[in-house]
Amino acid sequence: MFDFDGKVSGNSRVNLGGRGGRKGARPAAEESRSDFVKRQHQEREARERRRIREAASKKIQAVYRGHRCRELQGAEKRQVFDKRCADISKVSGLMPPPQKAKFVFHALVPLMRLFALFFRRKQDEARLSRLLEMLHYSGLQTEGCNIFQILAVEESHAPKDVTRTGLLALVRKVVAALLACQRFMDAAKLLLTIQKAIFSPGPEYKALGINSGVTIASLLRPEIFQVLSPLRMSEPLQVANMVNLMCSGLDAISLATVEQSLRCRQELLALLLSTPQIGESLCASEEMAKPSLVLSLQRVCGLLVHTAGVLAAATNRSCSPAHVLDNIAVILERFALQHESSFSTGSAELLAFLQWLSWAKEQVGIAADDAKASARAAMTLNRGSFARLLLSSVDHGRDDILLAICRLYFAPSDGTAEAECDPPQEVLQTLAFATPLAERLFPTFRGLMRNRSAQDVFETLGPPMLAAPEAIRLRVFCSVYALQLQPMYDYEFFGAANPLRLEEVRELLPFLNRLTYHFVTTMPDQAALLPAARALRNSLTSLICLLYHRHRRKAILENDSAWIIPESRALLRRAPSAINLGVDAPDEAMEPADDEDETMEIDDEGPQAPERGSVPSGSATSSQTLAERALQATLAEIPHVLPFEDRVSVLHSAILADQEERRAYRGPWGPSAMEKHQIRRNFLVEDGIAAFEGLDDEQGLRDTFRVEFIAPDGTPESGVDGGGLFKEFMVHICREMFDPEFGLFSATSDHTLYPATSAFAKYRQAADLYTFLGKVVGKAIYEMFLLEPQFSRVFVNRLLGRVNEVDDVASLDKELHKNMLQIKECPDVEGLGITFSISVTEKGVHKDIDLIPGGSDIPVTRENLTRYLHLMANFRTNVQFQRHTTAFLSGLQKVLPVAWLKMFDPYELNTLISGSTAGFDVKDLRANTVLSGGYQDDSPCIVWLWKLLQEDLEPEDMSKFLMFCTSCSRAPLLGFQNLNPKFCVHRVPDSERLPTSATCANLLKLPDYVSYESLKSKVLQAIRAEAGFDLS
């Protein structure tokens, strides 16, 4: 075997007789068969390793010898190159300029051939500089002496000693050498020298030969676009010239098919636009009048339009999608969409630009791009002015362009359904308040609304991804329209300020209602949805809930039943136990209306209700059926599709199930039932607070609460509490503590209650008192009986975690709301002298509170009037009651999860707590009454009783009658059929006695009176006395 010096190493000799004389070999007589086999195996492995080493050595030797040969040849050629350069320099220095130019012209091609054979980056940079100097010199000469002009002519017109193709290959070698040495500035200068040789110097930028564009196209390679980066910091004109040169090359690319040519142009154009801030350089305002800049921008725009149809995923790592996005947005905003621009941006051109922007945005989401570049690109794209400019350029009837704009801002960031796709708030606000987008989008999906089932429409949206064009348009419309509705007053909604006519809204509502219901029940698990689908669902539910709550405030549809979906009741049959009443961890805090300068922030201490649509933790488990999950999602997101009575039944069923689980504690012999809380009638509040003070958790507050009333003389009252005395205690304590005279609550003009602003000044322990009342209301809901207080919508909204709006002020103070609307319409707001402050009274002292920092020094003007009105409404309805509501809600949540009260709107929750003040249905009571003791339906006394209730009692006396018989002044929510035990009228033979009752059994002991007048007199006397068991 040859070694590296070429000598032959001696091989071991082989004895043909079989005795090799190997070292360590033992005689055959001493070697066993197994040892022999093992030795042979080892010898074979050794021979194989030696063979592999020898083969590898031969390859290494070949490579090494080749390297040595090339190095020797390179050294020889370098010597020749250096000698020729020295000779050229010496001889040309003695020649006159014309002869020197011709001499260099003829000497360059052999010198370039020689250079191409030996170039090494680390060794030959100086030689590259000498060659580059001669190329620049020749490139500036006239025809016949300019070596680069050969590149533009036909092959037949080239000199005999050089071909155009050969010279082009040599020039590519020189450019590649410059890029390998990272001499981008020198490469740019060389390209500009070539440009001057093969293109006209004027603004028309014409090719001087038929091969000018082909020459540049052959020089284009991914690395060459890096020459633009250092140039952008210098003269914009040089950038424009370079861009023009590269665009000429892109235009001249010709491959086997048109599609391949376009795709190649698209990839190289993306590389060109990857130059940071090249758009800024080309669109410099002070240079825009120069023809070369305009021409370069026109050519870039033209290439963008022509290649938009073949956009594909970026395959070159040198491409920076963030810079592409930034540069295209700048060019579109500052040049293409400007009226003074000579580039015609019609619908097709704008659509092409939008396709490029969407492509670049998707690639930004996929690629691990530069963070700064991505941030700059996002800032460019998400400027409100840019979004406004795009929409203003859309012609009417071009739904494809509207869809492209929607895709740009609302489609997933990386083009897949898994990516987040929420648009920036600034863009959303611009689309909502500075463009007619909602008005223009509404007709585009109007066809979906007519004569199509919700299932068909849902399939059109493309489940499960829900990223079809129709889905994107629908989500954009819902997001934008919902944002427009938030600050819109009711009179504006029903007037010209609404982007949609009232007839269109009434057409839209049933469609959205049914589609949202189908979505929620078909795909109930929010966590399992892809982001695009989750965003569409949130947009739909947000809009439908906004419209529903506005309808409840002022009717949009003819009646409330139009919101109910009959099929939803089937969920109740399939999911009888969809909710539980386990008390969850404290919910999220209520937040005030959004305002970055807001100083009147709502305190977030204490447990609060979560946002609408939240489901208590642990409610959705893998063991639940689809129907149970669908019912949970429906109750959490769109509860209004179920009738109120059905939702009450759901809540009551859950309560009954929970009570059954606590039967050991709540039963007649349970620990809590055996304990009696003594309540003195003349110290009702103090004893009530003391009794509830020890009940501070779910267990205690859900147990049975037995009451024993103590008369003013200190003796226990007659009667055993089977539930009636407790209800009486609850009703009386609410009457006293919710009375405005007590100081915890104030009354509106329609006699609804809201927290008194002076409560914390009047009572040091006001927070404890509100917590106690929260427990009382929560306990009443859990025990399924009604109280008497009717709460203001403002207060109930806060209990449900909703932020009150300007129109909610009317439920608190109609006069204030009227004044606010008058200020809004006032033509001279400045003349009113209003500032961003509000006057309040605390402990009899008037003081001003700033709505924003320094608000007392900031005048209200026409420009900031809307903000002032919203801050005023926010303070009046949200901020000033925050401490009161927090304390009340903390007590309520200790009894049952507030999240499940969110299946009711504010009006319904009021009804759930206190029923109706309009009396009760006597026919319903009569149909669900049991008669005993000898009474029959036709007994005179029974006939007179129904007549009295039906015809001769005022609503107040009807409430007192119910209070007397059942310890509750309100009829049961779901009718008397749900009164347990049934209402019973028992005959008492003595006609001189007053009627008495056993409220725990809902029993009226009615004497058998002899006349109607006698019955009426005795019944009124009994129910107005409010003396309970003492009448017995």
Q: What is 781-815 written as a DSSP string?
A: HHHT---S--B-HHHHHHHTTPPP-GGGGGGT-HH
Output the CA torsion 738→741→742→747 (10° steps).
40
374 or 100, greater pLDDT? 100
pLDDT value at residue 564: 94
Q: Which residues pair with 848 in a beta bridge?
A: 839
What pLDDT is recorded for position 559?
86
**Residue labelled with tokens 């003796």:** 715
Amino acid at 479: S
Residue 423 lies in a domain: no
Strongest mean pLDDT among 397-401, 593-597, 768-772: 768-772
Say yes or no to pLDDT of 579 above 90.
Answer: no
pLDDT for 12 = 55
CB 412 within 8 A of CB 369: no
Residue 252: inside a domain, yes or no?
no
> Given this model, what pLDDT does residue 617 score?
35
- CA–CA separation, 593 and 173 (whole Å): 66
Least confident of 351-360, 546-555, 599-608, 896-905: 599-608
Task: State mean pLDDT over 934-953.
Answer: 90
Of 615 and 371, the structure prediction assigns the larger pLDDT to 371
For range 226-255, the mean pLDDT = 84
130 and 162 housed in the same domain: yes
Answer yes or no: is 794 within a domain. Answer: yes
Average pLDDT, the chain: 83
Same domain, 895 and 835: yes
Parallel, antiparallel or unpaired: strands 837-842 and 753-755: unpaired
Q: Residue 988 is part of a domain; what is its CATH number? A: 3.30.2410.10
**pLDDT at residue 408 greater than cutoff 60:** yes
Query: pLDDT tens digits for 617-652?
Result: 334 455 568 888 899 899 999 999 999 999 998 898
Task: Give me the mean pLDDT over the 423-430 stretch.
Answer: 82
- Report the pLDDT value the prediction gives residue 26, as an integer from 0 to 100: 55
Question: How many Å apart are CA 459 and CA 453, to the nearest integer?
Answer: 10
Q: Are residues 845 and 901 in the same domain?
A: yes
> Would you call 691 helix, strand, or coil by DSSP?
helix
Least confident of 213-222, 369-378, 629-638, 760-769: 369-378
The pLDDT of 905-923, averaged and rounded, is 85
Asked if residue 873 and residue 793 are part of one domain, the reply reads: yes
Note the pLDDT of residue 794. 94
Q: Which helix (H) or strand (E) holds 376?
A: helix 371-381
CB 325 within 8 A of CB 360: yes
pLDDT at 209: 80
Which residue range is the domain that position 1006 belongs to? Answer: 922-1031
Residue 559 lies in a domain: no
Is residue 293 pLDDT above 80, yes or no? yes
Q: What is the DSSP string of 123-166?
A: T-HHHHHHHHHHHHHHHTS-TTT-GGGGGGS-GGGS-TT--HHH
How many residues are recorded in the chain?
1032
Q: Is 847 in a helix, a strand, or coil? A: strand
pLDDT tens per residue, range 843-860: 667 788 899 999 889 999
Domain end, chosen from 859, 883, 914, is at 914
Q: What is the mean pLDDT of residues 939-947?
A: 91
Using a cut of 0.95, tell me whether the model's pTM lies above it. no
Q: Are residues 785 and 895 in the same domain?
A: yes
Residue 465 lies in a domain: no
**Residue bearing the bigger pLDDT, 143 or 782:** 782
Contact 438, 500 (CB under 8 A): yes
* Domain boundary residue, one of 164, 182, 204: 204
949, 908: one domain: no
Q: Which residues of 328-345 are buried (b: 16+ CB within 10 A; e: fewer)?
A: bbbbbbbbbbeeebebeb
Strand partners, 931: 985
Within a domain: residue 650?
Answer: no
Q: Are residues 888 and 981 in the same domain?
A: no
| The last residue of a domain, from among 204, 236, 257 | 204
673 pLDDT tier (thresholds 50, 70, 90): low
Residues 863 and 926 both lie in one domain: no
Q: Which of 191-205, 277-291, 615-629, 679-693 has the lowest mean pLDDT?
A: 615-629
Q: How many CA atoms lie within 13 A of 286 on its CB side?
A: 2
* Res. 602: pLDDT tops 60: no
CATH of the domain at 746: 3.90.1750.10
Token pair, residue 141, equals 């000469």
- What pLDDT is stored for residue 584 in this prediction? 44
Find which of 115-124, 153-162, 286-295, 1017-1026 is predicted with most confidence, using mean pLDDT. Answer: 115-124
Spacing of C-alpha 346 from chain mean position:
33
Q: Do 881 and 958 fall within a single domain?
A: no
Q: Indicate the number of domains in the chain.
A: 3
Q: What number of CA atoms fall less than 13 Å from residue 277's CA on the CB side?
A: 13
Higher-confidence residue of 97 and 974: namely 97
Cβ-contact 982, 929 below 8 angstroms: yes
The residue ranking higher by pLDDT, 867 or 209, is 867
Same domain, 804 and 759: yes
- For the ranges 226-240, 313-327, 406-420, 512-526, the one whose mean pLDDT is highest: 512-526
Residues 6+ apart with CB under 8 A from 808: 553, 793, 794, 797, 873, 877
Number of Cβ within a 10 Å radius of residue 1026: 13
Q: Is residue 321 part of a domain?
A: no
**Terminal Cα distance for the chain, rounded:** 129
Q: Is 955 found in the same domain as 878? A: no
What is the pLDDT confidence band of residue 390, given thresholds at 50, 70 and 90? confident
DSSP state of 336: I
**Per-residue confidence (pLDDT) for residue 614, from 0 to 100:** 40
Q: Which percentage of the chain shows pLDDT scores above 90?
A: 32
Q: What is residue 570's predicted lDDT score, i.e. its pLDDT? A: 86
- Percent of the chain residues past pLDDT 70, beyond the cut: 86
Q: Are 624 and 584 in contact (CB under 8 A)?
A: no
Q: How confident is the model over 797-847, as pLDDT tens digits?
A: 999 999 898 899 999 988 988 999 899 888 888 888 899 998 887 666 778
Nearest C-alpha neighbor of 455 from the set 368, 373, 518 = 518
Q: Give the residue-averaged pLDDT of 460-473.
A: 88
Q: Are residues 875 and 930 in the same domain?
A: no
Please determine, for residue 949, whether its predicted confidence score (pLDDT) is greater than 50.
Answer: yes
**CB contact set of 1000 (below 8 Å; sequence gap of 6+):** 720, 721, 722, 723, 724, 725, 967
Inside any domain, residue 549: no
DSSP strand pairing (1003-1007 vs 929-932): unpaired
Residues 6+ apart with CB under 8 A from 824: 489, 865, 866, 869
